[in-house]
Amino acid sequence: MSKSAIVQWLDEQAPLFYGVARQIWERPELAYTESFAASLQMKVLQEAGFAVRPQVGGVATAFVAEYSVGDGGSGGSGGGPKIGVLGEFDALPGLSQQAGNAERCAVVPGGPGHGCGHNLLGTAGVAAVMALKERMAAEGLPGTIRYYGCPAEEVLAGKTFMAREGVFHDLDCAVSWHPGYMNSTINDRNAALTSVEFHFRGKTAHAGGSPHLGRSALDAVELMNVGANYMREHVVDGSRIQYVITNGGMAPNIVPDEASVWYFLRGFDRDHVDGLYAWLLKIAQGAALMTETQVSWQLRAGCYDTLPNAAMGDLMLAQAEVAGPLLYSEEDYHLAQELVATLDAGSRNGARRRLADLGANPDDVLAEGFFRGPFGNRNGGSTDLADISWIVPVGQVGIACAPVGVANHTWQATASYGSPLGMKGMLHAAKIMALSGYDLLHNQDGIIENAKDEFTRLRNGKTYVCALPADVQPPASVPVTVPAG
């Protein structure tokens, strides 16, 4: 049976993928600087026979790896379905933590860490396409599979730059996953977002001796924030307006000639956020006018709300049984219990409630069931995966790689995602994505048409227009090239 061959191949190759995920975990890299993670994945995929294209979408660390069967083996994209697997691999600042250690203990104090498990996320995608390639080659199964190496998810922009270049547009559908503390399909509707930083320029002066000669850029930032806080009352429910002052001047006795503030605007969909953004620009200009300063701004990200796809979710859910049980060792349970003991009651109880809502037994230290995630649930967080979900139908699962209650973006998550507990979840995710890809390549029960019908219905006549104009470029960093073969 071909599907059991996929599971078996992944079990046999587990040490290779555990090694890749662990190496990426040990070298955590922040958004746009993931050159080690990108090179390592590119090398593994190239050695496995994939054609690798680096620096996609103008992002130094973005790449696409492709394998095709069909079209007489011409090397180009073959006939049959085109299936994408989306991977991420950036880390988070300040979340350095020793693997498998339930006491707060950074590897590098203040350093970055994989507290969102993207070391597992990307590696599972690499494993899934490699397992699929084995079956395609063995069966002469026509189609194209692509692994998308998507950097800079934590700043919500990597996939948007890649999408702007059109690299997802010819896919039939795509699958992805995210590490978490339970096994479920992810059918949430994440918030759309605009990330923008405003820079004000004024004039320095001696703040004590000749303040009348200065024009304070910090005053402009403060007045802008006051304006935004008054805007809050008149926006529709579900809007989110968040800011941090990224530059507030150097010293109180110098009138600051430069000051900056970074905003996140979130809402139900792109139109909602575009409306907030248009208003915020007026507030920024008003603040500049009031303070006789100049303002400029820099768009950092603009992503969509996520379009869930039940057909794709159910396809992935159906693979859970074929993938076999997710088995943990005594040591895994021991670590889980120790980590859970470090959580406050709010985190623990919130997670238990969520599991109980899904019909699971919250007393299990790790969630072993596989649940259908509630469809269209509004989720205040954002992801650049949402852009892809407006281009092609996307299926997503969450897989338990951490104990119940350990939330992403915490040191406990970093500890879990570098340990065998996380690795096992990653292999399970790879199996589910590869098995789903296999059914998609066969277009089992017309799954591709079903997913596309639902996708078209939910888009409701709207099409994807990238929210980042052509002149918005990703930050420059060292380009990663394909390793010499």
- Where does this chain bind Zn ion (CB under 5 A)? 116
To which H or E segment does residue 261 belong? strand 258-267
CA dihedral over 47, 53, 57, 60, signed as positive or negative? positive
Phi and psi at residue 198, to the nearest 5°: -105, 135
Q: Residue number with the shortest CB distance to Zn ion? A: 116
CB of 118 to Zn ion, least distance (A): 6
Which contacts (CB < 8 Å, 24+ apart) does range 235-244 have?
235/276, 236/267, 236/272, 238/191, 238/267, 238/268, 238/272, 238/378, 239/265, 239/266, 239/267, 239/272, 239/276, 240/191, 240/264, 240/265, 240/266, 240/267, 240/380, 241/265, 241/276, 241/280, 242/266
Specify the residue, 83 or 116, whose C-beta has the smaller distance to Zn ion. 116
CB of 101 to Zn ion, least distance (A): 21
CB of 466 to Zn ion, least distance (A): 21
CB of 409 to Zn ion, least distance (A): 8
Specify the residue, 239 or 382, whose C-beta has the smaller distance to Zn ion. 382
Specify the residue, 91 or 102, whose C-beta has the smaller distance to Zn ion. 91
Instruction: Report H helices in 140-257.
Output: 158-164, 217-231
Token pair for 458: 């939910």
**Location of structure tokens 């509004």:** 378
User: How far apart are the C-alpha atoms of 152 and 34, rounded to whole Å?
Assistant: 8
Rg over alpha carbons for the chain, rounded to the nearest Å, is 23
Bridge partner list, 53: 64
Token pair for 148: 């998308």
Specify the residue, 177 or 328, whose C-beta has the smaller distance to Zn ion. 177
CB of 92 to Zn ion, least distance (A): 9
User: How far apart are the C-alpha atoms of 373 and 306, rounded to whole Å?
Assistant: 14
Pick from 384, 380, 379, 383: nearest CA to 466: 384
Specify the residue, 48 or 155, whose C-beta has the smaller distance to Zn ion. 155
CB of 301 to Zn ion, least distance (A): 14
Specify the residue, 69 or 156, whose C-beta has the smaller distance to Zn ion. 156
Pairing of strands 294-303, 394-400: unpaired
Pick from 183, 40, 182: nearest CA to 122: 40
Distance of CA 475 to the CA centre of its chain: 18
Specify the residue, 81 or 425, whose C-beta has the smaller distance to Zn ion. 425
CB of 204 to Zn ion, least distance (A): 41
Specify the residue, 6 or 91, whose C-beta has the smaller distance to Zn ion. 91
Specify the residue, 291 or 419, whose C-beta has the smaller distance to Zn ion. 419
Specify the residue, 40 or 116, whose C-beta has the smaller distance to Zn ion. 116
Specify the residue, 155 or 281, whose C-beta has the smaller distance to Zn ion. 155
CB of 188 to Zn ion, least distance (A): 13
Strand ranges across the sheet with 192-201: 240-247, 258-267, 192-201, 294-303
CB 316 within 8 A of CB 185: yes
* Amino acid symbol at 417: Y
CB of 408 to Zn ion, least distance (A): 6
CB of 178 to Zn ion, least distance (A): 6
Specify the residue, 272 or 428, whose C-beta has the smaller distance to Zn ion. 428
Instruction: Report H helices in 303-419.
Output: 310-323, 330-341, 345-357, 385-389, 411-417
- Rounded to the nearest 10 degrees, the angle between the axes of helix 447-459 and helix 420-441 is 100
CB of 116 to Zn ion, least distance (A): 3
> Using alpha carbons only, what angle is made at residue 84 by residues 79 and 89, rounded to the nearest 5 degrees?
150
Pick from 234, 208, 215: nearest CA to 287: 215
CB 147 within 8 A of CB 50: yes
CB of 117 to Zn ion, least distance (A): 7
